């Protein structure tokens, strides 16, 4: 993977290791995806499968080896009551974002690993194993700034790597992304106020990555999400030149893990991912 190594920008290969960790977690997900499986329902009404836990186990072990001193906030662990104490730097992990899409078998689900530092997602990787697409962006501590990238995964190897960036909004109208399974009336009302050429419904954190890759201009989310749902994609958007902001104020989204935090403290306010702040309604 000489092309990948050239772009990771860290002497010790930590970025490459994180990308490979996401691919390894995706491999566990695909094992379940290829078989008959069932989903159970968590306390918040969201579905969960054995693939969620299998992927999280791989990620937690890998992060413990790579970054033993950095706390990890991971979805299934938090659901089980394991939430580390707050700190300036920590990982946010969603091992399988888009479980509803996983259950529907439409391929629009992702593995998400993000590193938060002082409230900012400084690095993130998003891998869509069924689609064989991987996105990453940002800079690990001690690394060189590299921007945002997209690649393909073939036989566990990351190939066809290219740099990505947000696009200039076309004069003909915006391409707006919306959730395939969680499209709210509030989101529809906001979209109705914009000059929209097309509205595309997509599952999981792929929406953030599509804004980062210049495939769309805006992703408004006026429905419940958690910090681990968006942190990795947010890092990619920022590294690609875009922004994730609070819907009500336009302020940049900030991540917090306060001392004594609970799962409820990790719920997101309404937000928007935009290629250009001038697009904010």
Q: Any known ligand binding at 52?
A: no
Q: Any known ligand binding at 217?
A: no
Q: Any known ligand binding at 229?
A: yes
Q: Taking a C-beta distance cutoff of 8 angstroms, is the pair 197, 189 a contact?
A: no
Strand 110-117: give its sheet, edge to edge: 72-74, 89-97, 110-117, 120-128, 133-138, 148-154, 157-164
How many alpha carbons fall within 13 Å on the CB side of residue 122? 17
Q: Any known ligand binding at 214?
A: no
- On the 0-12 / 13-18 / 19+ scale of CB atoms within 10 A, 229 is buried
Task: Give exposure, 71-101, as e/b (b: 16+ Cβ within 10 Å).
Answer: bbbbbbbbbeeebbeeeeebbbbbbbbbbbb
Q: Any known ligand binding at 97?
A: yes
Q: Any known ligand binding at 162?
A: no
DSSP state of 45: S
Q: Any known ligand binding at 155?
A: no
Q: Taking a C-beta distance cutoff of 8 angstroms, is the pair 239, 122 a contact?
A: no
Binding-site residues for substrate, please? 75, 96-99, 229
Binding-site residues, please? 75, 94, 96-99, 229
Binding-site residues for Mg(2+), please? 75, 94, 96-97, 229
């Amino acid at each position: 993977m000489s092309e990948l190594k050239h772009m990771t920008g860290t002497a010790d290969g930590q970025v490459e290791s994180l990308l490979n960790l996401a691919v390894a977690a995706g491999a566990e997900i695909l094992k379940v995806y290829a078989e008959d499986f069932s989903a159970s329902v968590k306390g918040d009404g969201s579905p969960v499968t054995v693939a969620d836990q299998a992927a999280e186990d791989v990620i937690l072990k890998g992060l413990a080896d790579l970054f033993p001193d950095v706390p990890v906030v991971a979805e299934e662990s938090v659901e089980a009551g394991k939430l580390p104490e707050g700190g300036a730097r920590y990982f946010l992990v969603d091992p399988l974002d888009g479980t509803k899409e996983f259950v529907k078998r439409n391929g629009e689900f992702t593995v998400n690993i993000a590193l938060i530092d002082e409230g900012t997602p400084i690095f993130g990787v998003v891998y869509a194993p069924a689609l064989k697409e991987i996105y990453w962006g940002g800079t690990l501590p001690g690394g060189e700034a590299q921007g945002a990238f997209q690649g393909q995964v073939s036989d566990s190897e990351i190939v066809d790597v290219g740099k990505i960036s947000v696009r200039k909004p076309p004069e003909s109208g915006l391409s707006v992304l919306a959730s395939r399974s969680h499209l709210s009336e509030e989101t529809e009302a906001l979209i109705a106020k914009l000059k929209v050429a097309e509205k595309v419904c997509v599952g999981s954190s792929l929406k953030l990555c599509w804004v980062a890759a210049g495939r769309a201009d805006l992703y408004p989310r006026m429905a419940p999400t958690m910090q681990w749902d968006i942190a990795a994609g947010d890092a990619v958007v920022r590294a690609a030149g875009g922004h994730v902001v609070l819907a009500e104020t336009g302020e940049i989204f900030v991540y917090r893990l306060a001392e004594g935090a609970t799962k409820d403290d990790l719920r997101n306010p309404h937000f928007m991912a935009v290629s250009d702040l001038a697009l904010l309604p």
